[in-house]
Structure formats: C-alpha cells, structure tokens
Chains A and B, each alone.
Chain A
C-alpha cells in the first residue's frame, strides 16, 4: 500500500487519511459479508442441510424457536443469572483473598507461587467433581464458574500490590499520612489497573465456566437444548442458540472493558 502523499495541502491530506481508515473498515465489512454470503450458498446448495444451516434459516429459527419459546428463554436467562452470581462472588472473594494475601510481603511471597500453581490446573477437569458434590442444578454451575473466576482476580490483585513505588510511600509519610493512608492512597490505587485486568480475565473464565457446565449437563438448561437440537435434522435452532449466547458473551465482556477504561483514565 503506498504511503499517504504528504505533499498536498492539509485539506486534501486530511481527506486522504480519513479515506484510508474508511477503506479498511469497508474492506472488513465486505469480507464479512462475503463470508456470510458464502455460508448462505454453502448451506443451501453445497453442504448437507442436516449439518450446516444457512444464515437465513438461522435468523428465522432465532425468532421462531429461540425467542418464541419461553422455556428456552428461561434457560438462557438462567445461564445469565448464573454468570452474574458467579462473577459477583468471584470479584468479592477474589479481591478479599487477594488483599489479605498481598498486604504483607511474606504472605505475598509465600502464597503467590502456590496460587499460580493451582491456576495451572485445567479447570474443566474439576467440572465432574463439582457436579457430583453440588448436583446438576444451578448451584453446582455457579460454584464451578466461581472456582475458575476467582483465580485471575486473586492473582492480579496480588501482583498489583507488588512493586509499590517507594517514592509515593515516602511522599505520603512526609505529608503526615499513616500506614492506613498509605494503603488507601498508594497501595490500593496502584493495584487498580492490575485489578481490572484480573476482572476482565475473570469475566471470561466465569463465562466459560457457566457455558461448559451448562453444556455438560444435558438434563436441563442450555445443555438440554443443545442436545435436543443436535438430534433433529434441522440444526438452525442450534446455530441460533449459539449465536444468541455468543452475542450475550461479547456484550458482557465489553461492559467489563468499558469499566476498565473508565477507571484507568489517569494512566493515559
């Protein structure tokens, strides 16, 4: 791509710069549209309709099956509630434990490696365990998702409490601040950016936890419907269900990201 010509008068220059960005966006839209069109053609004419539902059918199924059926809406709603509760718990408990461990240096140095070690364990291996202990209902799913979500939060809270710039500690002391003031005005704000990274990761993990546990249990919830729609010859409702859940996931993620931007304004 040739670089933008810098020799034109500034009016033309700014117009060209805008077009470059617009070009990127339009191309991207074209590509995505192209994929959707290809998907439509493939679904209708090329691939066995028992496997690939074309986008038009998916959209239709979205309204006829997903939005129309109160049972499915309830299942989706329940999954959303599970994510919310699990995440809220993970945030509160994760921050609490993170602060408790991170506040003292020996505590931090001792427990941080342990926590990171536990974090390495693939969460999914514990899913059947949670289902055994808590049963196949929402409680087990919340517990499982919670168990996954606290780790990034804890780890990031602790990590954020390291490397406190001594300059600010001394500044606080010189102004007559107490140890408590140090914690409130130096340690805690210093930790906040790291905290938000943890909150973002925590949301992703919590959502994955709810999704995995819902899919695992085919007796109720989302898992029931994914199994149901896999067994009929029209997979459009299955696609539609997955699409709906994907949109919800992205929305929740974006909310956390917005919060992150709002609270770390001072960095930029």
Chain B
C-alpha cells in the first residue's frame, strides 16, 4: 500500500496518523482517520481524493499543524510537526481567507509580517506574486470588490508570495465555476513546473484530481484510510489537451470505480445520526 519514493527526496512524511473526535471512550467518539501513513516527494503534486466526510480536510489540517493528531506524527523533512510551520507550508482554503478589511496589498504585507520577512522585501514579493496570477492591477482593491474567482487567485498569489516549499490547498476551486476552475488548474500546473514546489491538494472532483496530480491518494469513507494510490504519468505543465486523451478517461473511470462503494457507504452513514464530520 505504501508507495515508497527514492529516499532523501521526501518532503512530507505521514506516519501512522490516527485522529479521533469527541470524548475518549464516550458515546460521541468518532474515528476520523485510521492509521494513515504516506510519503510525499519534493516537487510532487499530490491529491487527497475521497467522498465527503472521509477526513481528507482533517488530514490536510493535521499535516499542516493546524490540528493535532490523536496518534502518530508528521515530519516535514526531518522536523516533526507540532504546530503551523508558516515557512514550510502556505495554505489556500476553499473560502478566501483574505481579510476583508484590508486591501489586497495590505493583506500581503500582513502575511509577510507574520512570517517575519523583512519589510523592505514586502512590496516586491507581493507584486511578483500578484503578477504571476495576473492580478497585479488589483493590488489596491478590497476583497469585496473582486469576484470569487479573482479572490481565489489573489489567495493563491498570497501563498506563492510566502515562498514556501509546500503549498496546502483545501478544495480551493470548489466555489468557482467550471471555466475558472480549468484556467486556474492550468495555472497551477504551470506554477508547479516553474517553481518545483510541493503541492498537496484536497478535492472531491475526479477530473480535477486526474488533471492536476502526479499521484492521487484515494481515501475510504469514514474512518479514513488510504484505499489506493494512483499514479498519473504526465509531465507538468499540463495542457487541456491532456483531458482529451483516452488515458484521462480511463483514469477517471478507475477512480470512480474505486470510489463508488466508498461514496455509497459515506451517504449511508450520513443518514445515521452518529455521523457529522468535525473539521
């Protein structure tokens, strides 16, 4: 089950991570993640794919140090994760976490301030990152003045601006329309090729997973385990033509077959009042 990459090239190492919610031994206790182990390489685009409630967001948050694991540990390089590591990992959430009360450029400045980046570098890094997503002319706007798609682009730019080796993304395009999603997906692929960053991407969209990832970790319904690891052999940057190849559809269908039973199981447990994902 564990796909071991060549040694020395591991960016993130997840070892036997288990996550429980609720009082220990109590009636409300929920096992969200069950003994998950996986390795993610440097420069890899990795997807966590699974049905709703499988714990993929929880896993992402644990890797990122925002939640503690109940058991097991996560290593970034050789550092154990005990809290957020803003220099190693930047986050992009589904909803824009840009502060609505600051302009775009002010948001970037604050983010760099948190990271203790020297003040003199702020503007340059901010404008470069904005340029890379094509939003340079909106630096003085308030987030409210931008469309949802533009906001997510700025969100992405902010994480680029942090110049972290790893970017964690939690269903960042879920609220966007299909066209914007495709365009941003292409941009993301190009970014990966250009910078060699490691990207961990949570999604429940099969097409998105196949289009973007080098490897897909398919998860089971709750309690979340790694069901399978699927490789997508196609170099970055990927073009939309990739989606037209028969390979693409095959992979998609394979993923669907794997997930079908998991999705059904997840829906069945939703009808059971015992469920209710906390994350």
- Tell me how far the C-beta of A188 lies from the nearest C-beta in chain B, rounded to whole angstroms: 9
A171 touches B84 (CB 8 A): no
Docked complex: B85-121 residues within 8 A CB-CB of A: 85-87, 89-91, 93, 95, 97, 99-102, 110-111, 114-115
Known: A167-B95, A168-B99, A174-B84. A185 touches B110 (CB 8 A): yes
Assess whether A254 is interfacial by the CB under 8 Å rule.
no
Name the B residues within 8 Å of A135 (CB-CB): none
Which residues in chain A, 36-76, are within 8 Å of chain B measured between CB atoms?
A: none
Query: Chain B at the A interface: mostly helix, strand, loop or mixed?
Result: loop
A167 to B142, CA, bound (A): 18
Check if B144 is an interface residue, CB within 8 A of chain A: yes
Among A168, A176, A185, A266, max chain B CB count under 10 A is at: A176
Q: Which of A175, A190, A268 contacts B144 (CB 8 A)?
A: A268
Contacts of A174 in B (CB 8 A): 64, 66, 84, 86, 89-91, 97
* Option from B64, B66, B93, B114 in Cβ contact (under 8 Å) with A167: B93
Docked-complex contact B84 and A266, CB < 8 angstroms: no
Residue contact B102 to A266, C-beta cutoff 8 Å: yes
CB of A170 within 8 A of CB of B102, answer no
Complex CA–CA separation, A170 to B57 (angstroms): 13
Could you tell me the distance between the alpha carbons of A172 and B98 in the complex, rounded to whole angstroms? 10
Q: Contact check, A266 vs B144: say whether CB atoms are below 8 A apart.
A: yes
A244 in contact (CB, < 8 A): no
Instruction: Tell me, rounded to whole Å, the shortest Cβ–Cβ distance linking B26 to chain A.
Output: 23
Query: Which residues of B are found within 8 Å of A176, using beta-carbon distances?
Result: 84-87, 114-115
Q: Does A231 count as interface, using CB distance less than 8 angstroms? A: no
| Residue from the list B101, B102, B114, B142 in contact with A175, Cβ < 8 A | B114
Contact of A170 with B99 in the complex, beta carbons under 8 Å = no
**Bound CA–CA A188/B97 (angstroms):** 16
A192 touches B101 (CB 8 A): yes
* Interface flag for A267 (CB, 8 Å): yes
Cβ distance B67 to chain A, nearest Cβ, rounded Å: 10
Q: Is the CB of A266 within 8 A of B142?
A: yes
Chain B residues 60 to 88 lying within 8 A of chain A, measured CB to CB, are 64, 66, 84-87
B interface, size bucket: 20 to 34
Q: Which residues of A contact B100 (CB under 8 A)?
A: 266-267
- The answer to whether the Cβ of A189 comes within 8 Å of any Cβ in the partner chain is yes
- Nearest residue in B to A169 (C-beta to C-beta)? B97
Chain A 133-183 residues near chain B, CB threshold 8 A: 167-168, 170-177, 181
Please state if B91 and A171 are interface contacts (CB–CB under 8 Å). yes
Q: Contact at A167–B144, with CB atoms within 8 Å?
A: no
B residues near A167, Cβ cutoff 8 Å: 93, 95, 97
Asked whether A262 is an interface residue with its Cβ less than 8 Å from the other chain, the reply is no
Is B93 a contact partner of A172 (Cβ separation < 8 A)?
no
**A15 CB–B CB distance under 8 Å:** no
User: Which of chain B's residues have a CB closer than 8 A to the CB of A268?
Assistant: 144
- B162 is an interface residue with CB less than 8 A from chain A: yes
Residue A186 interfacial (CB < 8 Å):
yes
Q: How far is the CA of A177 from the CA of B111 in the complex (A)?
A: 8
Q: Which of A181, A185, A189, A190 has the most CB of B within 10 A?
A: A185
- A residues less than 8 Å from B143 (CB atoms): 266
Residues of A within 8 A of B66 (CB): 170, 173-174
State in angstroms the CA–CA spacing of A189 and B98 once bound together. Answer: 13
11 A-B residue pairings within 8 Å (CB atoms)? A167-B95, A168-B99, A174-B84, A175-B86, A176-B87, A177-B114, A185-B99, A189-B101, A189-B102, A190-B101, A267-B144
Interface residues of B (CB under 8 A from A): 64, 66, 84-87, 89-91, 93, 95, 97, 99-102, 110-111, 114-115, 142-144, 162
Q: A interface vs B, CB < 8 Å? A: 167-168, 170-177, 181, 185-186, 189-190, 192, 265-268
